[in-house]
């Protein structure tokens, strides 16, 4: 059966069959040819991604000195190879799988390479991976909430988890990604502490979320004039011991 519903059966008369043939021709001219071209482009892109992935694995394994080569950890390399085929379209994620596979045969990284890393990569987005790179060499980063505050010091949080990360050529909303990284046990977010240097939070006032809060304040003041200030609350985002090993192995 084709893509079109077969609402005209084989017993239909010549006029109905003619209508069916016409619809089929229109479908092929209007949609089918474009679908075929799209499939060819997808096949070519998938082939390029696969070749890039193989190259990364080969480069990473060839860079291991011979004296540190060990038998693959099958509980890591097996699931990693199986899972990676579903994430090969993402440059960031296939690079992480390639690094993980290489680490599984590098005796220098045996203690840091954990089977859970396969499942962690599977639950990351490309943006999550971009954010994690910032924790490769630096353990902690400033983080902030944007708040609307009234004259009784009550507040409404308008934006969680503001950080000074520019990825993909601009500011991104990191809230969901940071929440996911926290859920996976890679990051701890603490708003009861802050980095000692308060100037590290100067970026907040230039963040789009802070500018958006100014507009929200004007809207809220129409019904509740007691809200009169946009402010930020300082916190700290720290990589966990699991994250330390994860970025060492996968980046």
Least confident piece of the model among 6-10, 206-210, 241-245: 6-10
State the number of CA atoms in the 13 A half-sphere of 209 facing the CB. Answer: 22
- pLDDT reading at 16 higher than 60: no
Top mean pLDDT of 61-75, 76-90, 109-123 is at 109-123
3-state secondary structure the chain: CCCCCCCCCCCCCHHHHHHHHHHHHHHHHHHHHHHHHHHHHHHHHHHHHHHHHHHHHHHHHHCCCHHHECCCCHHHHHHHHHHHCCCCCCHHHHHHHHHHHHHCCEHHHCCCCCCHHHHHHHCCCHHHHHHHHCCCCCCEEEEEEEEEEECCCCEEEEEEEECCCEECCEECCCHHHHHHHHHCCCEEEECCCCCCCHHHHHHHHHCHHHHHHHHHHHHHHCCCCCEEEEEEEEEEEEECHHHHHHHHHHC
- pLDDT reading at 172 higher than 60: no
Q: Are 32 and 24 in contact (CB under 8 A)?
A: no
CA dihedral 46, 51, 53, 59 (to 10 degrees): -170
Q: Are 189 and 140 in contact (CB under 8 A)?
A: no
- pLDDT reading at 142 higher than 60: yes
Give the pLDDT confidence score for residue 187 in this predicted structure. 98
CA–CA distance, 143 with 161 (Å, rounded to integer): 6
Give the pLDDT confidence score for residue 174 in this predicted structure. 82
Q: What is the pLDDT of residues 65-82, one digit of tens each?
A: 999 999 888 899 999 999
Give the pLDDT confidence score for residue 46 in this predicted structure. 82
Residue with tokens 């001219």: 29
Q: What is the pLDDT of residues 19-58, one digit of tens each?
A: 556 555 555 555 555 556 656 777 778 888 888 888 999 9
Check: pTM over 0.85? Answer yes or no.
no
Give the pLDDT confidence score for residue 33 in this predicted structure. 59
- The chain-wide mean pLDDT, for the chain, equals 85
Give the pLDDT confidence score for residue 54 in this predicted structure. 87
pLDDT category at 169 given cuts 50, 70, 90 is very low
CA–CA distance, 125 with 87 (Å, rounded to integer): 10
Cβ-based burial of 51 (10 A; exposed 0-12, middle 13-18, buried ≥19) = exposed
Average pLDDT over residues 222-234: 95
CA–CA distance, 242 with 239 (Å, rounded to integer): 8
């Amino acid at each position: 059966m084709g893509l079109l519903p077969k609402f005209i059966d084989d017993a239909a008369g010549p006029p109905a069959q003619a209508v069916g043939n016409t619809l089929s021709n229109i479908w092929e001219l209007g949609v089918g040819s474009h679908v075929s071209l799209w499939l060819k482009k997808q096949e070519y892109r998938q082939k390029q991604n696969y070749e890039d992935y193989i190259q990364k694995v080969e480069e990473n394994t060839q860079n291991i000195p011979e004296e540190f080569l060990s038998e693959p950890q099958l509980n890591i390399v097996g699931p990693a190879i199986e899972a990676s085929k579903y994430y090969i379209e993402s440059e960031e994620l296939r690079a992480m799988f390639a690094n993980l596979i290489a680490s599984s045969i590098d005796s220098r990284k045996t203690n840091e390479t954990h089977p859970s890393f396969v499942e962690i990569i599977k639950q990351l987005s490309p943006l999550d991976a971009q954010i994690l790179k910032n924790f490769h060499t630096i353990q902690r980063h400033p983080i902030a909430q944007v708040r609307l505050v009234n004259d009784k010091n009550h507040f409404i949080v308008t934006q969680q988890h503001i950080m000074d990360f520019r990825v993909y050529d601009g500011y991104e909303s990191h809230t969901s990604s940071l929440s996911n990284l926290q859920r996976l046990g890679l990051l701890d977010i603490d708003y009861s502490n802050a980095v000692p240097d308060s100037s590290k939070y100067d970026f907040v006032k230039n963040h789009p979320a802070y500018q958006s809060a100014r507009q929200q304040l004007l809207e809220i003041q129409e019904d509740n004039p007691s809200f009169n200030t946009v402010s930020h609350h300082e916190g700290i985002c720290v990589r966990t011991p699991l994250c330390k090993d994860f970025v060492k192995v996968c980046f």
